[in-house]
Chain A
Amino acid sequence: MTHIVVDPVTRIEGHLRIEAEVDGGAVREAWSSSTMFRGVELILKGRDPRDAWAFTQRICGVCTTVHAIASIRAVENAIGATPPPNARLLRNLIIASQCVQDHVIHFYHLHALDWVDIVSALKADPAKTATLAQSISDWPLSSPTYFAAVQNRVKNFVERGQLGPFANAYWGHSAYKLPAEANLMAVAHYLEALEWQREVIKIHAVLGGKNPHLQGFLVGGMATPVDPDKQASINMGSIAGMRGLIAKARDFVARVYIPDLLAVASFYKDWAGYGGGVGNYLVYGEYPEDDTAQAKLFLPAGVIRNKDLSTVEPFDPQKITEQVKHSWYDYAGGDDDGLHPFSGETSPNYTGPEPPYERLNTDEKYSWLKSPRYDGEPMEVGPLSRMLVAYASGHPRVQELVGTVLEKLQVGPEALFSTLGRVAARGIETLVLAEHMESWLDELAANMQQDLRIHDNDKWDPSSWPKECSGAGFHEAPRGALGHWVHIKDGAIQNYQCIVPSTWNAGPRDAAGRRGPYEEALLGTPVADAEKPLEILRTVHSFDPCMACGVHVVDTKRREIARVRVP
């Protein structure tokens, strides 16, 4: 039995540590630990609820819209504000473009290097690479000259001897299976995607002033005025500009990302047999299509248990709890109970080893993440959960695309419950959203002809709010189901709780000893070389970890308010 520590897990957001026992060439036991903590919720206490979105937004700069959205929804739910249709459409556009851009960055810049060997690309024949590229897509950048230039660029880079961010990696590892030409094609698209993401995210600058950390949000609506005839508003010129950006996004997804995903996946079909995880999937649903309280959602909410696609249970917010048996927090009533976020009680109490340390004591508490549970069960959240729930609920486009992908890879639906399934679901979702986004833009363009409202002004002044109120805000972030819970008293935040996608997925064991989704998914993952655990990264990265999001909770009790001056 070999004990492996991967810390830091790189190519993620935040600080994640994986410890694993490897025996007979596979992972037998695994522990997921988050090693960073800030305490955003405590910082929010006593503040103006209308400011909260800007604070929570800074939980994460990668998924830079998600905590703002969940926050304004939670406060609106509490105070009874109703955003007008334009605000809903602006938000849908912001959420969808975040998801599309984020998923493409994940595939190429955070995940690809687990499957693609850059050094092998040097051996590729550019002419054969061009043939390969042209056989899977009509994307124009596919000539032998183009791939020769990319290869030459990589060659120059390697020959200079300063490998920068590509130094010391696992190049030449036996788990890399792509032919040299596929590697070269993927490297070319890695570089193209780097340019593409900068360009398409300008839609956020149009709608929110800048990216990252857009600034156009407001409790009760949006701060971005709409008026077809005014220069300082979202007008018909901005609509045309956004239409161009959406087309550019859709084009790259359909003609580069999806073909690449299918090509790469066809060499790694064995990964449809690894990384399954807990087999329970939770989705809050997203993209309201109307302005009622129970709006129809473009991607439906629901719960799937035990990989059973025949039944989708309705989502019930009351069934969410968090546990702290293996987390660096204490509960007053003992660590064996789960608490609902509205009665959430959390006191940090670090009992781990003093840094610098080699090993965590995984029998005791070992993470800054708590363990969220739904109806007592661990749940996976994210693109795979969303696509499974949409598929099982009869979403026509999702069903069609899932069918196409399974057919092209010649695998059955059971292949979805895996590392590869997670990668494929993320691609399918990206395409579904990239195709659908323009319909919200059309709706916005049509609506602004007779309705210029962007905000529920009646609920802006705190004097219009109940003296005491509570609300929950639900959102599907790129990485999965996100919830914020707020309690407001006399116009100020009394209590604030977030349960975040990476907390669901990366959380530690619960009081019953049940593993979290990362931990469960790692079991059975092959490890050819314990010194170079490339395969562990594949499964962990397939979840797209976002650790800064996951850790945030702190309570007034027993906290350390120390502004320690360090000598």
Chain B
Amino acid sequence: MSESDNWFMSELETRGVSRRDFMGYCSAVAAVLALPRTAAARIAAQIQATEKPVLVWLEFQDCAGNTESFLRASRPTAAQVVLDTLSVDYHETIMAAAGHQAEEALANTVKEKAGGYIAVVEGSIPTGAGGAYCTIGGRSALQIAREVCGGAAATIAMGTCATFGGLPAAAPNPTGALGVADAVPGVKDLINLSACPANVENLTALIVYFLTFKRWPPLDAWRRPLFAYGKSIHDNCERRAHFDAGQYVEAWGDDAHRTGYCLYKMGCKGPVTFQNCPNVRWNEGTNWPIGCGHPCIGCAEPDFWDKMTPFYAHLSGVPGFGVASSVDKVGFWATVGVGAAFAAHGFVSLGKRWWLAEHHPAAREAAEEAQRRADDGQKGGQQ
């Protein structure tokens, strides 16, 4: 038994986590990653055998929402163990040191673990006003990002601000905010976890994947792991049957809303948003946005603050009965049983593309782009 195994198992023991619980956790991670259950043993072995990896967490033009998401990791108790098995050497929101002692801790890691640490970035990087829109310890976000991400083994952009610029980059982008990929091009092994905030279960799964396989998972064209961004919200939505059946919420609090019908007409962006929200859900699987009765706002997609707004306009973007009537037709056909086969995924995808193309060029582009991305990503994964 190696030394690292000892500390790991003693860590589990002092937390009251049995080996059985831990294996259960590894199975859960395998499921998130869409791996066979047999992968759990390998995941467990790798986590135990690995030296405690070092992580530094940078916050730039952020709201700390991803940090809060990180603090909610808890499925099951062993997940916390996995996160604790990282040495978080720098994280402004939680670290004890402040001021130059904090900056020294970061400088030490960048120097001593050069090329060996993982950098997590939260928040966008402003390029306007010579970098003065975000400084830490007198240095600009861009200066810090170049140095820290430049020396990292890999960089994880956590949340839509760090991946695509997010809220600060929404039109008219007053501060020249960019995501990591654009602000610091050429960063080694950049992984994007978009969403506002990113779901911590996907961060955990990503890190475990890396520790287990010593490589990063297949990514889509936006450098997002396919295990979490490979399918649309719509395809996995628990209310999908109501969409197919043409059963829609028409007003907040109406019988359809209380019964849990499809939120498409209320503006749901699930059909053009790629993320595993419906499967993984939030806060230990307690709920998710559509589950609480509000439409998806498309927060995992690039420029969603501009492309997905107004949030309550259904995807046609046309008031009244533009696309909605088409959807009613789709629903009608499905209900009268023009063919049970049509209710299956293929038909609705086809139907979706048809009405999008018919009525809303922007939505069509978004859908096509998403489709391309998924196709590209799958190809990337096979290579």
Chain A residues close to B by CB (< 8 Å): 5-15, 35-40, 42-43, 47-48, 50-51, 54-55, 58-62, 64, 105, 109-110, 113, 118, 149, 152-153, 156, 160, 162-170, 194-195, 197-199, 201-202, 204-218, 220-221, 223-227, 230-233, 328, 348, 350, 352, 354-358, 452-455, 457, 460, 532-533, 537, 548, 554, 559-566
Contacts and interface: CB of A to CB of B under 8 A. Distances in A.
A215 B294 contact: yes
Contacts of A205: 282-283, 286-287, 292
Contacts of B286: 202, 205-206
A51 B197 contact: no
Contacts, number: 341
B17 to A, nearest CB: 12
A460 B283 CA distance: 30
A195 B335 CA distance: 47
What DSSP secondary structure best describes chain A's contact surface? loop
Interface of B: 7, 10-11, 14-15, 52, 54, 59-69, 71-74, 80, 86-105, 126-140, 142-143, 166-168, 170-178, 182-183, 196-197, 251-253, 257-260, 282-284, 286-294, 297, 305, 309-312
Contacts of B287: 205-206, 209-210
A209 B253 CA distance: 16
B128 A15 contact: no
Contacts of B196: 58, 213
B136 A8 contact: yes
A97 to B, nearest CB: 12
B291 to A, nearest CB: 6
Contact of A209 (B60, B92, B288): B288
13 contacts: A7-B137, A10-B102, A39-B174, A43-B170, A156-B11, A162-B52, A162-B54, A165-B91, A168-B105, A210-B288, A348-B129, A356-B139, A356-B143
A500 to B, nearest CB: 12
B95 A223 contact: no
A564 B128 contact: yes
Given A42-B174, A206-B286, A208-B292, A457 B94 contact: no
Given A204-B283, A357-B138, A457-B251, A230 B259 contact: yes
B168 A39 contact: yes
Contact of B292 (A62, A170, A223): A223
B260 A231 contact: yes
Contacts of A355: 130-132, 135, 138-140, 143
Contacts of A14: 59, 62, 64
A218 B172 CA distance: 25
Given A14-B62, A58-B166, 16 more contacts: A8-B103, A42-B172, A64-B65, A168-B102, A204-B283, A209-B292, A210-B283, A213-B196, A214-B292, A218-B294, A224-B294, A355-B130, A355-B138, A560-B175, A562-B127, A566-B178
A120 to B, nearest CB: 13
Contact of A169 (B97, B143, B289, B305): B97
A234 to B, nearest CB: 9
Nearest to B296: A215
Contact of B87 (A60, A162, A220, A221): A162
A216 B72 CA distance: 19
Contacts of A58: 63, 65, 166-167, 196
A5 B305 contact: no
A561 B71 CA distance: 35
A216 B292 contact: yes
A160 to B, nearest CB: 6
A267 B167 CA distance: 44
Q: Which of A149, A165, A233, A357 lies at the interface centre, i.e. has the most chain B CB atoms within 10 A of its CB?
A: A165
Contacts of A40: 167
A448 to B, nearest CB: 10
Given A209-B294, A210-B288, A216-B293, A561 B174 contact: yes
A64 B65 CA distance: 8
B14 A152 contact: yes
Contacts of B171: 43
Nearest to A105: B71
B310 A10 contact: no
B118 to A, nearest CB: 13
B197 A212 contact: yes
A361 to B, nearest CB: 13
A48 B309 contact: yes
